[in-house]
Structure 1
Amino acid sequence: MTDTQRLVSVETQTEYSITSGATETRIFVKMYVDAAKAGLIASMGAQNWTTLCVIASFMDAAGNCYPTQDQIARYLGVNRQTANKYVKNLVAYRWRGRPVIQALRKRDKHNGRWESTRYTVLPISQLAIFEAEAEQIKEEPG
């Protein structure tokens, strides 16, 4: 693997309908073969990988994602309790000693209840969108 090789990317595609005049933007998560060859997929495991892909489907240009617990559960095909467990496991996961995602919970100022969670997909995850750059992976000796 070279120093500049990508493992995963996120890209957008905007389509314009000539008949209706409507535009639709779609987001795609692309996995490169090198994600498997570099060991990222094996290291993450299926649960963390699919959870990362679901959360990343909500990513904005800064890498921030705002899915609800219900959305994550629905897109993973599990109940909310299981989705929460998957998200906690992903937040705790480290790729080469570093987190791939952060979760920042926000409380409602009036009642103190959890209001929302912002997930930030970090560059080490190799997921980047729009003009953002994924962190370059250097080959580890071994």
Structure 2
Amino acid sequence: MNTLTKSNHIGRKISRIRELRDMKQEALAQALGTNQQAISILENSETIEDEKLKDIAKALGVSVEAIKNFSEESVFNYFNTFTDHSAGTFNNNCTFNPLDKLMESVEENKKLYERLIQAEKDKVEFLEKILKDKK
């Protein structure tokens, strides 16, 4: 068997996607309204009808194109982008102290609260003045 035949085996692709989604055959069978044996047969099939493939894609939460174009290599390449530090685009070094930022926020809140209290004091003073003038 050559690799081209293996890579176009729709049943295997469905099986791998199901496994990557941490789904058992029974769960997929339930979503499709069938049994586990039917899923096993389906995953051993090299080709699947387009209408059935749409139902399977929906149950797996992927598109039909994702199933048709699935390859192990693309999955590994995708996950390697999360750990490839050589590209220089992944920076997990914090450039500030989070506690300093928190304390800045606390100080800002204190200032706002003090301004609010002063505004309330000014209102009370103004209202007392109005009451005093009316007497």
Under a length normalisation based on structure 1, what TM-score does the superposition of the two structures give? 0.23
Under a length normalisation based on structure 2, what TM-score does the superposition of the two structures give? 0.24
Q: Rg larger in 1 or in 2?
A: 2
Whichever structure has more strand as a proportion of its residues is: 1
